[in-house]
């Protein structure tokens, strides 16, 4: 039973994982917490919509539809980003990595890190972290019965607190390599938040032999009017403005790591497995790479 007031504008969605909540016959999904602002799009839920998920509200869908009207490839671009993550986790398992810290993990969707990793190595451990309450609530629900996987509400820009909470979970062993996954996260970190300093904190926390994964939106392949309009949508509607960056800037984020082959490349060019669109890689403006800490 949910206690409290139904806020104006609150909508009940008959989604697959909804639970009967006892509110005058309404069905309110478990992931709709009272702390969620339904009127303001969240990057996590907008991304969920691009990927065809159900964990989004009218405000998210409206913003995503506006973005797609300007840039019809967006849902495919998000799928390319997601496919890179899946391939890279498979690669990391092949390198012997068994621990993953996935920051900005988003709302669970097809090919979650623990599914890929534990499908290949059942002993793999995964900690998910996100600031978005829907992402955290839904991940918690999904992981309730999953051993060796956990989720935390945490902010990448507050590394000391985030890492302290990770340590308190006692799931990851800091004496063994950890892959820090920042898939489609860094373009939500502004330059004034000092991304290089933040990344150094995470790097220093991990032992030698650890890895860093980054995928990052770039403005370099499309007309400036298009990428500016896209950035404006995020700046004007969400709490997370986007900072698209160029190849050189994203390469610099791997300071202290050695990029593994093929280096920092377009997402479609990173270890293609035959399911993507390698010949049309430039439609997907995402720099993607994996670095190893020597
Ligand atoms: C585009 S989604 C990417 C989801 C997933 N990593 C993927 O690539 O499929 C970006 C996620 O980063 C989260 N995020 C944004 N800023 C964050 C921060 N400072 N700390 C943690 N998560 C953040 C958002 O809530 C959102 O879920």
Q: Which domain holds residue 113?
A: 74-292
Number of domains the chain is built from: 1
Residue 8 within any structural domain of the chain: no
Closest Cα to atom 22 of ligand 1: 104
Q: Is the CB of 139 under 6 A from ligand 1?
A: no
Residue 200 within any structural domain of the chain: yes
Percent of the chain with pLDDT over 70: 88
Please give the mean pLDDT across all residues of the chain: 89
Residue 227 within any structural domain of the chain: yes
Residue 2 burial class via C-beta count within 10 angstroms: exposed 0-12, middle 13-18, buried 19 and up: middle
For 4-52, write each residue's pLDDT tens digit. Answer: 222 223 333 333 333 223 333 345 566 666 777 888 999 999 999 999 9
Residue 69 within any structural domain of the chain: no
Report, as an integer, the average pLDDT of 55-77.
95
Residue 223 within any structural domain of the chain: yes
Q: What is residue 30's predicted lDDT score, i.e. its pLDDT? A: 65
Which CATH number do you get for residue 251? 3.40.50.150
Report, as an integer, the average pLDDT of 246-256.
98
pTM: 0.91
Within a 13 Å sphere around the CA of 267, how many CA atoms are in the beta-carbon half? 28
Residue 287 within any structural domain of the chain: yes
For 134-187, write each residue's pLDDT tens digit. Answer: 899 989 998 998 999 999 999 999 999 999 999 999 999 999 999 999 999 999
Closest Cα to atom 8 of ligand 1: 183
Per-residue tokens: 157: 């820009």
Residue 82's H or E segment, with its range, is helix 74-94
For residues 71 and 49, give the distance between their C-alpha atoms in angstroms, rounded to a whole number. 15
From 35, 36, 75, 104, mutation site for ligand 1 pocket: most ligand atoms within 8 A of C-beta: 104
User: What Cα–Cα distance (Å) separates residue 237 from each residue in 117, 160, 234, 260?
Assistant: 35, 29, 5, 37
217 — pLDDT class (breaks 50, 70, 90): very high
Residue 91 within any structural domain of the chain: yes
Residue 207 within any structural domain of the chain: yes
Residues 6+ apart with CB under 8 A from 45: 55, 56, 57, 60, 107, 132, 134
pLDDT at 256 over 90: yes
Which of 107-111, 190-194, 220-224 is predicted least confidently?
A: 107-111
């Amino acid at each position: 039973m949910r206690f409290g007031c139904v806020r104006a504008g609150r909508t009940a969605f008959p989604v697959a994982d909804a639970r009967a909540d006892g509110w005058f016959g309404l069905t309110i999904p478990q992931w709709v917490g009272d702390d969620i602002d339904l009127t303001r799009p969240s990057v996590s839920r907008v991304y969920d919509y691009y990927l065809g998920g159900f964990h989004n509200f009218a405000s998210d869908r409206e913003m995503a539809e506006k973005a797609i009207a300007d840039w019809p490839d967006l849902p495919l671009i998000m799928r390319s980003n997601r496919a890179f993550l899946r391939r890279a986790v498979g690669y990391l398992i092949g390198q012997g990595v068994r621990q993953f810290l996935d920051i900005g993990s988003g709302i669970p969707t097809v090919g979650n890190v623990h599914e890929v990793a534990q499908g290949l190595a059942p002993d793999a451990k995964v900690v998910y972290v996100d600031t978005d309450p829907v992402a955290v609530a839904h991940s918690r629900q999904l992981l309730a019965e999953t051993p060796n996987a956990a989720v935390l509400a945490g902010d990448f820009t507050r590394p000391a607190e985030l890492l302290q909470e990770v340590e308190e979970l006692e799931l990851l062993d800091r004496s063994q390599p950890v892959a820090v996954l920042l898939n489609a996260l860094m373009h939500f970190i502004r330059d004034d938040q000092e991304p290089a300093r933040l990344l150094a904190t995470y790097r220093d926390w991990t032992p030698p032999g650890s890895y860093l994964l980054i995928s990052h939106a770039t403005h370099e392949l499309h007309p400036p009017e298009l990428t500016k309009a896209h950035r404006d949508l995020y700046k004007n509607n969400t709490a997370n403005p986007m900072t698209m960056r160029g190849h050189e800037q994203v390469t610099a984020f791997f300071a202290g790591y050695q990029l593994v082959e093929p280096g920092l490349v377009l997402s479609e060019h990173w270890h293609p497995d035959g399911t993507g669109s390698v010949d049309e890689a430039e439609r997907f403006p995402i720099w993607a790479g994996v670095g190893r800490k020597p």
